[in-house]
Structures are given as structure tokens and as C-alpha cells.
Structure 1
């Protein structure tokens, strides 16, 4: 049994809409061992439905969080979801941590903020308005090296939804409770160097490590330590 220090905020680990909650489950235990309450919402069923996506995702997360202080932690595409979630959760949002994640874009859709060639690439992949599972966006075997063993890879792939292209065309809502008092960034891979640079320009604390985009699957304890460090730095707890 884990002992949770009541003064510490609950960490809400939000996975990208393109993947599933197993992205974060390995890091949840080490964070609980450090005295944090941890929630890992599952969002695939929500994204598999119809719009509006942001509101339904935020309500799904809020329904799993108690009325106590939280820190929102978003990986990859979940970075865009954090403002809507901040508006929906019942308790105080003390901070937000972005882990190899895109930044919020309230009032804009993903296509507006992404490089045009990437948007065209997604449109070309869609079949009847839905994208193939995320691992099929890449050449066969391209992601295999990111996984520590075949079972972790199998579990990860089994959770991947076929996300509607409409998700990327939906404007992210403006959020009254955004930004929180403090934000920080954890950069895991070179692909997010430019985002980490932008966060440094914003004055956020940024931690850079040389890992990979799915390091919470290959090194869950290591990533849990990075998240705990960032949360403590931002909240003092």
C-alpha cells in the first residue's frame, strides 16, 4: 500500500489522444512511491466518438479527479488538451508539466498550428475520415526499438485508436483557468527541441534529457523522476 502525503497535489498523467493510457501506467507507481496521488485517465473511447472532442475529453478526465489540488502532466499531443482539462477539473490546478508535448493553442485547430506538410500527410493517411492507428503512420518496425519487450509493444499497440481527422480540425476552446500559476517542460527527444526552446523564452523551467519520445515505456522510473522533479520545482511540494 502506498502512503500519500495529503499536502502534495495529485498528478494527472494525460496521454496523447493518438495512444492509450499504458503510455503512463509504468510511471504512475514510482510517482505514488514518492508520495503523490496519481490519476491516469483513459481517453481512447472518447476520441473514438464524435465531436466536440476537447469538451468530452476534459469532462472524462474531470470525472476521475477528486476535488483537491492537481498538477496536469501532458505527453505529446495531450499538451493541447491541458487548458480545457484545467477548466473542467474540480480542484485547484497548481501547475502544468509538458513532457515532449506540443503547447496549447486555444482558439485554433491543430492544422493551423502544424507544419503544412504534416497536415497534408495526415489528410493523405485518412480513410473515410479516420486515421490508421498511430504505429502505422511510420515504416514497419520503425517504433519497435522504443519498446523494452514484445509484451509492452503488444499492449501499447492494442490500445491505439483510429482517431477521426475531425479531431485535428476542431478549434481548441479558450480556457478561463489557463494558464496555471506555473508551467514547466521536460524534453525527451530531439523532435521537441523547438518547443523546449519556446518554453525557455517564456521563462519556464526546462529539463532536457536524451531519451526517446516514448521513454515512459522504456524507462518509466526515470521519467517518473523527471516528472516528480518538475512538479516539486513548480509547486514547492
Structure 2
């Protein structure tokens, strides 16, 4: 590991820099610098969601890694689409990409394309002012029964969560298969998520790790999440 290695942490739908508060101190204690980019509409950013596209998020992430000599990018959940786009467009901008229970894009297809018209129609019907809200507690329990988020954590998250710009679901992320990526790529699967967030059988050359956690391990299992990131960052 380069002494100046920086770990760039990007959360999935609804999350912002705040989501990594339990992980970054651990990484810092192990000698890593950390960056938690605030993509447009996330965290404290007040850009209207109806104006934001996936390309905007890729641009924001590109700005965050610009000038970092030894960047290790961790992309959680939907941030897999953002990170994959950055890797295709600027392959030399990061040394390693770690997908953390991330959804993986398909060439020339948006998330809506992959999920199909019924899901796209349902998500669009939920949208207000160009964005879809995060889960209610009932939806979370139904869709992710092993999430591990206790009531206090859910209340904390709800005070920070932001809606997801609908255009990010409709935009294409990559034009070439991820297997052509020149960077060092790893995938961490959270075992309490069913079905898995991604099919890894088409990526046999990647490093694979697992976490005995739900889909938001930076919230529910920060020590274990930090440890697997450290292990992969040093490999």
C-alpha cells in the first residue's frame, strides 16, 4: 500500500457522506486517508433532483478522485453504476475498484432497461419532483428481511436520506463489458441479501469476499466492513 493511499467511499440510493461515519475512523486509524464525495442531491446538497442525471454523478465522482495519486474506490449498491461509468471513461483515475454489494451495469442498458418496464413504471409512479423516495420501514422489512437495521439506526438514516433522481435509473452507465476493465476490481457480497445484488459468475477474474451482513453493512457492521475494505485495499 502506498502511504498516501486514499479510500473514496460512495453509498447507494439515498445515501450521502454521512453513511460512512462509522467506517471512516477505522480506516483512518489504519493509515488510510478517506474521501466521501457528496454527489448532487445527496447529503447536504440541494440541487433539484429533477435536474440530475447519472452523468452528473459520474462528473461529481470524477472531481472527487481528481488529483489523488493512489485512489481506491468503494462503491455500494447503485453506486456501482456510477463507479463503473467512471472506470470506463477514466480508467487511470483509480488504482482499485471495490464493489460493495453493488448492482453491476450491463453495456448499453440502463437500470430501468435491466429491471424491465413493470419496475420502471412502478418506480416512475412513485417519483415526486423528479425523484423516488427511500423505503418505508415496512418496505425495508419486506424487501430486505436480513437488513439488520435497528429502530435507532433507521431513525438516524431517515433524518439524512435523500430521494434518488429518477433520471439516474434511466441513464446508461457503460458501453463495454466490465470484464474489459483495466483496473484491479474486487466484489464484496453481503450474505444476508437474497437474491444477491449481482451475478458474479461472469466475473471469475475478480477478487471475491463476503460479509455476514445485510445490504447496508456500513451502518450495521462497520468494523467488519472496514476490515474487508482494508484487506482488499492492501492486496
Structure 1 and Structure 2 fold alike (TM over 0.5): yes
Aligned residue pairs, count: 225
Residue aligning to 2:159: 158
- 1:55-134 to structure 2, matched below 5 A, reads 55-65=55-65, 66-86=67-87, 92-127=93-128, 129-132=130-133, 134=134
Label 1:34 to 1:77 Cα distance change in 2 as closer, same or farther (>3 A): same
Unaligned runs of 5+ in 2: none
Deviations 1:163-184 (A, max 9, x none): 2322211222558x97242111
Residue aligning to 1:170: 171
In 1, the alpha carbon distance for the partners of 2:50 and 2:130 equals 12
Residue aligning to 1:222: 224
Coordinate RMSD, CA, aligned: 3.2
Label 1:159 to 1:231 Cα distance change in 2 as closer, same or farther (>3 A): same
In 1, the alpha carbon distance for the partners of 2:28 and 2:58 equals 23
In 1, the alpha carbon distance for the partners of 2:221 and 2:4 equals 24
How much has 1:101 moved relative to structure 2? Answer: 0.5
How much has 1:97 moved relative to structure 2? Answer: 0.5
Residue aligning to 2:198: 195
Label 1:9 to 1:101 Cα distance change in 2 as closer, same or farther (>3 A): same
Conservation of the 8 A alpha-carbon contact between 2:111 and 2:169: yes
How much has 1:106 moved relative to structure 2? Answer: 4.4
How much has 1:10 moved relative to structure 2? Answer: 1.0
In 2, the alpha carbon distance for the partners of 1:57 and 1:85 equals 10
Residue 7 in structure 1 maps to residue 8 in structure 2: no
Find the residue that maps to 2:49 and give its secondary structure. coil
Conservation of the 8 A alpha-carbon contact between 2:4 and 2:69: no
Label 1:171 to 1:47 Cα distance change in 2 as closer, same or farther (>3 A): farther
Residue 31 in structure 1 maps to residue 45 in structure 2: no
In 1, the alpha carbon distance for the partners of 2:54 and 2:159 equals 23
Unaligned runs of 5+ in 1: none
Label 1:101 to 1:131 Cα distance change in 2 as closer, same or farther (>3 A): same
